[in-house]
Each structure stands twice: as C-alpha cells, then as structure tokens.
Amino acid sequence: MAARPQAFPLGTLPAPGRSLPRLWQDWRLRLRRRILIARAIRKRRDLARVADRTGAIRRGDILCCMVVRDEAMRLPHFLDHHRRLGVDHFLIVDNGSSDGTLALLRDQPDVSLWQTGGSYKASRFGLDWQNWLLLRYGRRHWCLTLDADELLVYPYHETRPLPALVRWLESQGRDSFGALMLDMYPEGPLSAQAYRPGEDPVGLLRWFDSGNYSVQVQPRMRNLWIQGGPRARVFFGQDPRRAPTLNKIPLVKWHWRYAYFNSTHSALPARLNAVFDETGGEVTSGVLLHTKFLPSILAKSAEEKARRQHFADPARYQDYYDGLIADPVLHCAAAREYTGWRQLEALGLMSRGGWV
C-alpha cells in the first residue's frame, strides 16, 4: 500500500472511496470499536456508585456525561450553565477528588455520581468510564460529553435550548454535533485575578484567539484535526504538531455500539466524525468555551506535572507544564474580547449552518 498522508490539508480532501484497502480499513475500525466497547464494559468495575438517580431519566432527556477531579470551583457554574441549556441529567465520575467535589455533586438532584480511585491514564484518560456510562444510560438519548472546564455555546443558545438544537439536528439527519474548544484567557498573568465559585469564569477569562487555527482532516477516520489558539502560539511555537487538539464532538445521539475513540475528538463509527460539510456549505456547529486558565491552573499544572496522568507521553510535555507554572501572559495585541455567540459566528469559529 502506498504511504497515506498524515492529514489532508485544505483543498486536498479526496472523496471517500470504496476500494479494497478502504474496506480493510473499515473492518479494522469496526474491530477497534468493539475493543473499545469491551474495555468500557470491563472498566465499569472501577466505578463505585455514590448517588444513582438514573431512574429519573425520561425518554428524550438530554444527558451530560463527564469525569471530574478537583473541580469544586468550576462545577457550580458549569452545572448552572448546562441546566439552563436544557441538560436534564448529569452522569458524573469523580476520579479521586479531595476538594469537596464529591460532597457537592452528591447533593444535586439531577446528578448521578460514581467514584473511582482508578488510574485516569489507564482508563484512556477517563474515556473507558465515559464510554461505559454512555453505553449503559445513553442509549437513544442525545448525550453531551464534556470536561468540567468546558462551557458549550452554540448559535441562538440563549433563546433555543438543547431540545430545540437536537430537534434541528435530527431534522437534518445528523446524529453528531461538532464544537471547537476555544481557550479563554485573562488580560494579564493567569494568577492576577481571583475566581469565586459560582461566578461565570468567562467574566474573568474574556479573551480569545480568533483566527489562528490550523485545520486538517485525518485520513483514517476522516475526523478533523484542529490545532492552534493561545497554547499553540505561546507553548508550541517550535513544535506545532504537539499542540493540543481543539476539535470535539461533544453532542451525539448515542447508540450502545458507539464509542469515543480519542477523547471526544473522534468517535467510532467513523461517520460520527463527519461534522463538517465537504462540498463548501456550512453545518451547524458550536464552541466549547475552555475555562482552563483560571488562577487555579498554576497549582494544578504543578500537580499534573508530578502525577503524569495526562498525555500519552508525559515526559514531552514537561516544558508545557513549566510554562504554565511560570504564570505566563497569554493575552496579545490581536486578542479578541468575547461578546457572545454572534461574534463567534461572525468570526467563523462556529456556524449556524442553515439554522435561522
């Protein structure tokens, strides 16, 4: 077989073919998906039930699935924001928090909570746990899979809650929804301001990079590969390949045979990754406001640097953690101040597609 490109740059995406190698590839992906599901089923044993309110889930409810660790700061606003959007039930795994996250979540009426002391890395960065919860509870529901530092926004999100969005997606014959992770940062050094739980973190992290994103498509699963933003600009200017991946598929109408593959950047079966239009048109998409750079990032980076639970090869990311610990200024002269979804839509970071 001829060497395949690592990624298709703009303008070279070939039409999906039906060749023999392609069929072979499909078969391998199917096998891979089955392995992922088997892993998820095996890893369910890691999870100890803390509060199970899944009996309250009704047909057509929108679920939100996540793994958290020490997020007591962010969670109040996170839950508020997504409740307002129309999430009916949260399925949360607590991975060894020590800051009261567990107590906070246990008492929420719409949260089902599991606890685990298992290794984050050994469960493929929490993905096995998430895949299990989705498999067990997500069937036939639209499921939002997020991190605690991500806030979903999409076109018209103030006036059209998630049920309206998913009805629109269904009418378009779509069962997955793409969102770009947008790193939000403050004007000065990261530690300069104080954040109180419950506040809107975007009040502190008002700035973002509006147009420095590298877009490619990876050939195997035809999934997007978007990198860029302040982290690529500040930390990976000499080694851009390692810059964090920013495209996500957070919202999927789940089927028990689906599985997230690489975080929520890609999923199997591969057709779920087709969240973009190849013929020049635009599909409806959203943005995840990434509130990673709250002041707590400094302490957290120091901890993560020692824990080595993130990234497949943590040794290569030590400089990145050092950079964060050094309290950098991510803001630059060309940064944009966030004013709302219409701005993101006009800048081309997300699109309303045909939804008006």
Partner 1 sequence: MSLGFVMLCHTALDRAAQVARYWASRDCPVVIHVDKRTPNDQADRLRRDLADLTNIRFSPRHACEWGTWGIVAATQEAALMMLRDFAEVRHVFLASGSCLPLRPVEELRDYLDERPRTDFIESVTTSDVGWTIGGLNTERFTLRFPFSWRKHRVLFDSYVTLQRRLGVRRSLPSGLVPHLGSQWWCLTRQTLSAILEGPERAELDRFFRKVWIPDESYFQSLVRMVSSSVESRSLTLSKFDYQGKPHIFYDDHLQLLRRSDCFVARKIWPQADKLYQAFLSPDAAAQPRAEPNPGKIDRLFAKAIERRTAGRAGLYMQSRFPNRDREHGRTAAPFSVFEGFSELFENFETWLGKAAGTRVHGHLFAPDRVHFAGGAEVYNGALSDSAALRDYNPRSFLTNLIWNTRGERQCFQFGPDDNQKLTQFIAGDPHAQISVISGAFAIPLFQSNRNFGEIRAEAARLQKIESEFLQLLRSNWVKARVRVWTLAEFIESPMEPLQTIVDEISPRSMRRLTEVPRMADLAGFGQFLQNLRNQGMQPVLMGDFPAGADLPAPGGRRARPYLVK
Residues of the shown chain interacting with partner 1 in the complex, contacts defined by CB under 8 A: 9-15, 156, 158-161, 163-164, 167-168, 171-172, 178-180, 209-217, 224, 226, 228-230, 232-233, 236-241, 247, 275-285, 332-336, 348-356
Minimum distance of partner 1 from residue 10's CB (angstroms): 4
> Which residue, 186 or 230, has its beta carbon nearer to partner 1?
230
Minimum distance of partner 1 from residue 152's CB (angstroms): 14
3-state secondary structure of 220: coil
> Which residue, 137 or 142, has its beta carbon nearer to partner 1?
142
Minimum distance of partner 1 from residue 351's CB (angstroms): 5
Cα torsion 4, 36, 226, 283: sign: positive
Minimum distance of partner 1 from residue 60's CB (angstroms): 12
Minimum distance of partner 1 from residue 322's CB (angstroms): 19
> Which residue, 299 or 334, has its beta carbon nearer to partner 1?
334
Amino acid found at 134: L
Amino acid found at 249: I
Cis peptide before 269 (omega within 30 of 0): yes
What DSSP state is assigned to residue 276? S
Smallest Cα–Cα separation from 95: which of 16, 148, 17? 148
> Which residue, 118 or 230, has its beta carbon nearer to partner 1?
230
Amino acid found at 299: A
> Which residue, 136 or 233, has its beta carbon nearer to partner 1?
233
- Cα-only R_g, the chain: 20
> Which residue, 19 or 159, has its beta carbon nearer to partner 1?
159
Minimum distance of partner 1 from residue 178's CB (angstroms): 5
Minimum distance of partner 1 from residue 257's CB (angstroms): 21
Residue 210 has phi, psi (to 5 degrees) of: -95, -20
Minimum distance of partner 1 from residue 168's CB (angstroms): 7
- Cβ atoms 4, 210 nearer than 8 A: no
3-state secondary structure of 41: helix
How far is residue 18's CA from residue 246's CA, in Å, rounded to a whole number? 30
**Torsion region of 222: left, alpha or beta (phi above 0 gives left; psi -120 to 50 gives alpha):** left
How far is residue 154's CA from residue 55's CA, in Å, rounded to a whole number? 29
> Which residue, 212 or 318, has its beta carbon nearer to partner 1?
212
Per-residue buried b or exposed e for 334-346, using 16+ beta carbons within 10 Å of the residue's own CB: ebeebeebeebbe
- Cβ atoms 93, 68 nearer than 8 A: yes
> Which residue, 11 or 117, has its beta carbon nearer to partner 1?
11
> Which residue, 18 or 241, has its beta carbon nearer to partner 1?
241
Minimum distance of partner 1 from residue 333's CB (angstroms): 6
What DSSP state is assigned to residue 14? P
- Cβ atoms 250, 144 nearer than 8 A: yes
